[in-house]
């Protein structure tokens, strides 16, 4: 895998908030373009360097068998847009959704992904797109005796399942995809860093940050630690601290493209004031 940067953009207007700023975008390749276009529209340069690869689940047979018995469940939770896309493509190929199944998502992006498949989302937090916010929703307070399936990637946080179980639900986890580390040719990336051409990194998961740390190797870690980060949640602060980043990351309100862009623009404004 190689990374690419937008090179044929028109000159940015002077009032564009990201004029002269190169933003490393680390989202998976199939999800990066909307955010890259937003960066470019704000006058910035988007440097595409995916740090997560989305792979098929380890046991597709088990996932298909669970889909076949969806009628047993009361609530289905989707933790990410990837979980929605992978699961709904399989469901639509095998059956229709049970009429009484309540659909829940951790965030707005997952809800919109479900809507694109033609399904209405019943439970979704209006802000703070994480497990804690979803667990605060009224519909998930009284789940005694209910069967809940959580569609997610391999591993992932256990808070959602553990809390619902403590509230009396019978929880089943369904692995719909695996996360992996992409193959990467970092030579050009290191040359960019050596010229000071990478100004800020956007990253939305601790796993992605760990992957990036491994991918750049010993030669790139000094530059990495000295590059400002904009992250998608406060939990990533501890990960950055453990890796020895020289300054605390800027934390977006949530990991959506819109919130990440706002956080990058705030960082750029502060940087501009510092250099004036």
Fold of 4-52+182-275: Rossmann fold (3.40.50)
Contact (CB, 8 A) for 19 and 266? no
Q: What angle do CA 250, 254, 255 make, to 5 degrees?
A: 90
Contact (CB, 8 A) for 203 and 229? yes
Written as tens digits, the pLDDT of the chain (276 aa) is: 444 444 343 444 456 899 999 999 999 998 999 999 999 999 999 999 999 999 988 888 999 999 999 999 999 999 999 999 999 999 999 999 999 999 999 988 899 999 999 999 999 998 777 899 999 999 999 999 999 999 998 877 789 999 999 999 999 999 999 999 998 889 989 999 999 999 999 999 999 999 999 999 998 999 999 999 999 988 899 999 999 998 899 999 988 899 999 999 999 999 887 766
| Contacts with 34 (C-beta within 8 Å, 6 or more apart), sequence order | 257
Residues linked to residue 25 through DSSP beta bridges, in sequence order: 48, 202
Pairing of β 53-55 and β 170-180: antiparallel
**CA–CA distance, 206 with 202 (Å, rounded to integer):** 12
- The total number of residues shown for the chain amounts to 276
Host H or E run for residue 118: none
**3-class DSSP assignment, residue 105:** strand
**CA–CA distance, 25 with 74 (Å, rounded to integer):** 38
Please report the pLDDT score of residue 218 as a whole number. Answer: 92
**CA–CA distance, 83 with 110 (Å, rounded to integer):** 8
Q: Residues 36, 37, 40, 42: what is their CA dihedral angle, to the nearest 10 degrees?
A: -110
Please report the pLDDT score of residue 271 as a whole number. Answer: 87
203 DSSP 8-state letter: E
Please report the pLDDT score of residue 208 as a whole number. Answer: 94
Please report the pLDDT score of residue 185 as a whole number. Answer: 85
**CA–CA distance, 100 with 7 (Å, rounded to integer):** 50
Do 55-179 and 4-52+182-275 have the same topology in CATH?
Answer: yes
Helix, strand and coil percent figures for the chain, each rounded to 5: 40, 20, 40
Report which of 35, 19, 82 is spatially closest to residue 56, judged by C-alpha positions.
82
Task: Please state which architecture CATH assigns to domain 55-179.
Answer: 3-Layer(aba) Sandwich (3.40)
Provide the token pair at 75.
């609530």
**CA–CA distance, 18 with 272 (Å, rounded to integer):** 10
Domain ranges of the chain: 4-52+182-275, 55-179
String of DSSP letters for 120-156: --SB--SSS-SHHHHHTSGGGT--TT-EEEEEEESS-
Please report the pLDDT score of residue 9 as a whole number. Answer: 39
Contact (CB, 8 A) for 66 and 91? no
**CA–CA distance, 191 with 195 (Å, rounded to integer):** 6
**CA–CA distance, 247 with 249 (Å, rounded to integer):** 6
Contact (CB, 8 A) for 230 and 267? yes
């Amino acid at each position: 895998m190689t990374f690419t940067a937008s090179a044929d953009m028109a000159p940015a207007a002077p009032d564009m908030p990201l004029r002269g700023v190169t933003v490393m975008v680390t989202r998976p390749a199939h999800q990066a373009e909307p955010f890259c276009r937003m960066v470019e529209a704000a006058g910035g340069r988007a440097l595409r360097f995916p740090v997560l690869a989305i792979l098929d689940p380890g046991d597709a047979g088990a996932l298909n068998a669970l889909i076949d018995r969806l009628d047993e469940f009361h609530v289905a939770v989707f933790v990410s847009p990837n979980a929605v896309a992978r699961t709904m493509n399989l469901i639509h190929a095998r059956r229709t959704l049970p009429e009484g199944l309540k659909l829940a998502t951790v965030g707005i992006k997952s809800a919109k992904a479900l809507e694109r498949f033609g399904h209405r989302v019943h439970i979704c937090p209006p802000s703070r797109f994480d497990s804690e916010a979803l667990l605060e929703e009224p519909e998930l307070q009284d789940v005694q005796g209910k069967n809940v399936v959580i569609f997610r990637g391999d591993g992932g946080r256990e808070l959602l399942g553990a809390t619902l179980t403590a509230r009396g639900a019978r929880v089943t986890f369904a692995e719909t995809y695996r996360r992996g580390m992409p193959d990467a040719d970092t030579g050009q990336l290191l040359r960019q860093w050596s010229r000071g051409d990478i100004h800020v990194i956007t990253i939305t998961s601790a796993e992605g940050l760990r992957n990036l740390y491994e991918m750049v190797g010993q030669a790139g870690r000094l530059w990495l630690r000295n590059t400002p980060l904009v992250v998608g949640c406060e939990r990533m602060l501890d990960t950055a601290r453990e890796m020895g980043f020289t300054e605390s990351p800027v934390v977006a309100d949530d990991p959506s493209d819109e919130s990440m862009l706002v956080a990058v623009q705030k960082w750029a404004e502060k940087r501009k004031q510092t250099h004036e």
